């Protein structure tokens, strides 16, 4: 969950994206307080008794959502009430003042303010065949925006070149090579990056030229059945997306990750592999997927292997919404 708002949440698009987020809100299991001080309350209401005053950077565990994460407007802040655990205490916090432990951003995002207490990193092309992770400094810089006809605050880094994506996190990350993509993207490598039914795409951690270690091969694979309906519209029935580690003998254990990329009712599932590598340095692949949960919205989802539960391979830790043109 972000504490700041992007292009699609500014000015005339606010109401539209508020509605979209109400439908597709994702809240990570691990959260961090980004406000300077945040009240942990005994009930999901601003009149609730303050159980604890949480400092910036406090780590929280998500216990549940109030009213299935329904968004409300509280003192000009649009968000949802979350039930969380802080050390040995539980209570409720309002979502605009917390963030996922790992949050995705992009250069030139339009933001109202920077979340506090987080480290910033960027993934950049190191050379033709590798991406590297760099620690970066960020700032908000005013720039004229043609769509809005006025100046807005955009996210900038202290790097000369543009990142592939940025990560704001409470967890320290190790700079260095994180992917074997470079100038390539999954679509260049595999002809298609679309995870449509019948497609299997390999993902793997980044590996430097002099590293001869052999690592396991992992795949993302999609199943489903495409067919016509009565109006000659082609729809995909029972779309499923799986992550699995390839095994030479016997069936490979599979993790169903469909729930994290499921669109609203009546919208066909469209999922693409955008990036893969090893952000968390556990020698297992991480991935960023793009999907389109609504007719006019898209999102990027960051999956980390180190946050997966026993028996799983990937776990979604953050998502980034954007508005389609």
- Alpha-carbon gap, residue 270 to 286, rounded angstroms: 20
Instruction: Provide, rounded to the nearest whole percent, the portion of the chain with pLDDT above 90.
Output: 64
CATH superfamily for 29-100 is SH3 Domains (2.30.30.40)
Q: Where are the domains of the chain?
A: 29-100, 102-177, 184-323
Residue 9 has pLDDT above 70, yes or no: no
Least confident stretch, 160-164, 224-228, 280-284: 224-228
- Band (24; pLDDT cuts 50, 70, 90): very low
Amino acid 214: pLDDT: 79
pLDDT digits (tens, 9 = 90+) for 172-190: 999 999 999 999 999 999 9
- Alpha-carbon gap, residue 124 to 134, rounded angstroms: 7
Count the Cβ atoms, other than its own, within 10 Å of residue 214.
7
Which positions ≥6 away from 62 have C-beta within 8 Å? 27, 28, 29, 30, 31, 82, 83, 84
Calculate mean pLDDT across residues 40-58: 94
CB of 305 closer than 8 Å to CB of 286 = yes
pLDDT digits (tens, 9 = 90+) for 102-153: 999 999 999 888 888 889 999 999 999 999 999 999 999 999 888 778 899 9
Residue 95 has pLDDT above 70, yes or no: yes
Amino acid 11: pLDDT: 34
Residue 154 has pLDDT above 90, yes or no: yes
- Band (85; pLDDT cuts 50, 70, 90): very high
Query: In 3D, which of 166, 156, 161 has the Cα closest to residue 183?
Result: 161
- Band (25; pLDDT cuts 50, 70, 90): low
CB of 32 closer than 8 Å to CB of 99 = yes
Would you say the pTM of this structure is higher than 0.85? yes
pLDDT digits (tens, 9 = 90+) for 186-243: 999 998 999 999 999 999 998 877 777 777 889 999 999 988 888 888 888 899 999 9
């Amino acid at each position: 969950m972000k504490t700041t708002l992007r292009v699609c949440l500014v000015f005339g698009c606010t109401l539209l994206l508020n509605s979209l987020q109400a439908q597709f809100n994702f809240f990570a299991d691990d959260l961090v307080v980004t406000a300077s001080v945040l009240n942990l309350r005994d009930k999901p209401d601003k009149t609730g008794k303050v159980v604890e005053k949480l400092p910036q950077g406090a780590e929280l565990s998500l216990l549940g959502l109030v009213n299935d994460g329904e968004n409300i407007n509280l003192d000009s802040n649009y968000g949802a009430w979350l039930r969380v655990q802080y050390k040995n205490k539980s209570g409720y916090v309002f979502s605009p003042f917390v963030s996922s432990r790992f949050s995705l951003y992009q250069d030139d995002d339009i933001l109202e303010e920077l979340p506090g207490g987080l480290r910033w990193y960027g993934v950049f092309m190191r050379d033709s065949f590798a991406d590297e992770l760099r620690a970066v400094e960020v700032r908000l810089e005013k720039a004229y925006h043609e769509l809005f006809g006025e100046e807005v605050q955009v996210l900038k880094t202290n790097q000369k070149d543009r990142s592939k994506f940025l990560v704001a996190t409470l967890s320290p990350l190790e700079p260095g090579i994180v992917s074997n993509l470079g100038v390539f993207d999954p679509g260049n490598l595999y002809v298609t990056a679309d995870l449509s039914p019948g497609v299997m795409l390999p993902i793997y951690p980044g590996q430097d030229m002099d590293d001869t270690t052999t690592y396991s091969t992992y795949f993302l694979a999609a199943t489903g059945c495409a067919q016509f309906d009565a109006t000659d519209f082609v729809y995909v029935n029972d779309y499923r997306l799986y992550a699995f580690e390839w095994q030479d003998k016997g069936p490979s254990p599979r993790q169903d990750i469909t729930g994290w990329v499921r669109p609203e009712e009546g919208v066909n599932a469209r999922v693409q592999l955008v990036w893969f590598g090893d952000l968390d340095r556990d020698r297992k692949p991480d991935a960023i997927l793009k999907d389109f949960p609504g007719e006019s919205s898209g999102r990027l989802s960051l999956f980390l292997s180190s946050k997966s539960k026993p028996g799983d391979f990937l776990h979604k830790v953050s998502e980034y919404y954007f508005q389609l043109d």
